[in-house]
Amino acid sequence: MFDIDRWNEIWHALTKNKVRSLLTAFGVFWGIFMLIIMSGASNGLKNGIVEGVAKFATNSAFIWTDRTSEPYKGFTRGRYWLFNSDDLVYLKANVPEMEFLTPKNFGQFGAANNVIRGRLSGSYNVKGDYPDYVKIDPYTIVYGRWINEMDIRDRRKVCVIGEKVYETLFEANEDPLGEYLKISGVYYQVVGVIRPETRVNINGRAEESVFLPFTTMQQTFNMGDQVHFLAFTAKKGVPVSVVEEKVKTILKKRHSISPTDTQALQSVNIEKQFQQISGLFLGIGILTWIVGIGTLMAGVIGVSNIMLVIVRERTKEIGVQRALGARPSTIISQIMLESVVLTTVAGYIGLSLGVGLLELVNKALEMQAKGGDEIFFRHPEVNLNIALASLAVLVIAGLFAGSIPAKRALSIKPIEALREE
């Protein structure tokens, strides 16, 4: 293998017609380059979405109410209805598979300048929440704390604000804790500032929301015992869809909704969404490999073709070598090696450039992400396994590309080669 004469011969064979070798190498280069770029891009898309929801409880579901679409038990269709506080107690007692259940209420959506602090004001979504909600959709605490049980029990007039709210209504680095905000006409004391860890938004972005204790909101917004929205998780080992069905059945029964009414209860099952997304990415991954390998194959077939031409051109030389006592194994390994060298060198350049390009894109994206932009494309990287696998594919492809020409070279009888004047 490490034999000057052999490498000399390879070098000579490949540089004899430089343009041809370069064009052939480009086929392989492009194949592997595309494979890397495509698999990097699909990883980037995947990371962008998965990182956005990675910390979200995957075994969770949400339900909310809508107008009924079927008449039932004397009620006409088109009835508006809402959950109530008793539902919470009943569900907790009757659905043992449920791990967390948290209600959520919403203030008027898109109210103008509903949050005021001194001369500053802004329009924010007001939400009533339970302490357990952060176990489903986690928040990072920037200042202070999240809503706690005492807030709920005592209906304290406190609020937790999103980071954007803090940035707008407070000076930079100002301590917000203990300050008061006037929200829809009522003063609340700020006890915390949060930053969302996921990019899942329910009724508006979390960083642009003001969170009140659920019970406080029911009281001050005159909601009585109304509940707008329920979020819940399933216990370990139970599919959340089982819990979802149970909850739906109970709620329909309690509120005299037809069991077949699909409109009155709306829901999102995060588990199912995750499965769909995983399926999508599996599909993209498979497609990437099919297209990438296809392109690579085209390149490899190009190499094989050119090697055939090279063997043809060197018929006489091969004949002389064999007359001088070169064994078939010497000839075969020579041609195979040439083919492998051509494919691996070209492929390695494609691999390096592909990875380099992905790295550049990654840097650019990171800078954009630091600027606070929403990006759905993150860390477009290929892992070491894929890089190693493609190198292995290259070597095997090179061997494959060389095998047919090598066989051809062997089938040339020395006499015929020498006779060719």
Partner 1 sequence: MIVLDSIHKSYVTGTNSLHVLKGIDLEIGAGEFVSVMGSSGSGKSTLLNILGILDDYDSGSYVLNGKKIKGLNETKAAMLRNEMIGFVFQSFNLISFKNARENVALPLYYQKVSRRKRNVIAMEYLDRMGLKDWADHLPSELSGGQKQRVAIARALISNPKVILADEPTGALDTVTSFEVMDILKEVNDQGITVIIVTHEHDIASMTRKIIRLRDGIIAEVIVNGDLQLYRDRVLAE
| Identified binder of partner 1 from the candidate list 1, 5, 80, 222, rule CB under 8 A | 5
> Which of the ranges 254-262, 269-277, 320-328, 345-353 carries the binding residues for partner 1, by CB under 8 A?
320-328
Calculate the alpha carbon distances from 144 to 147, 161, 175 in Å.
10, 10, 10
User: What three-state secondary structure class fits 231?
Assistant: strand
Q: Does 20 bind partner 1 (CB under 8 A)?
A: no
Q: Does 373 bind partner 1 (CB under 8 A)?
A: no
Sort strands 209-213 and 125-129 into parallel, antiparallel or unpaired.
Answer: parallel
Q: Does 1 bind partner 1 (CB under 8 A)?
A: no
| Identified binder of partner 1 from the candidate list 215, 321, 334, 362, rule CB under 8 A | 321
Radius of gyration of the chain (CA): 34
> Which of the ranges 62-70, 199-207, 231-239, 322-330 carries the binding residues for partner 1, by CB under 8 A?
322-330
| Identified binder of partner 1 from the candidate list 284, 301, 308, 418, rule CB under 8 A | 418
> Which of the ranges 74-82, 284-292, 326-334, 394-402 carries the binding residues for partner 1, by CB under 8 A?
326-334
Q: Does 324 bind partner 1 (CB under 8 A)?
A: yes
Q: Which tokens is 77 given?
A: 């269709």
User: What three-state secondary structure class fits 203?
Assistant: coil
Calculate the alpha carbon distances from 371 to 48, 115, 364, 367, 376 in Å.
16, 26, 11, 6, 14
Residue placing its CB nearer to partner 1 in the complex, 8 or 262 = 8
Q: Does 326 bind partner 1 (CB under 8 A)?
A: yes
Q: Does 93 bind partner 1 (CB under 8 A)?
A: no
Nearest alpha-carbon partner for 101 in 239, 254, 234: 234
Phi and psi angles of residue 142, each rounded to the nearest 5 degrees, phi first: -90, -45
Least distance (Å) between residue 48 CB and partner 1: 53
| Identified binder of partner 1 from the candidate list 327, 360, 363, 372, rule CB under 8 A | 327
Residues 6 or more apart whose CB falls under 8 angstroms from that of 394 comprise 28, 32, 296, 343, 344, 347, 348
Give the total of residues touching partner 1 (CB under 8 A). 27
Applying CB under 8 A, which residues contact partner 1?
3-5, 8-9, 12, 316-317, 319-330, 410, 413-415, 418-419, 421
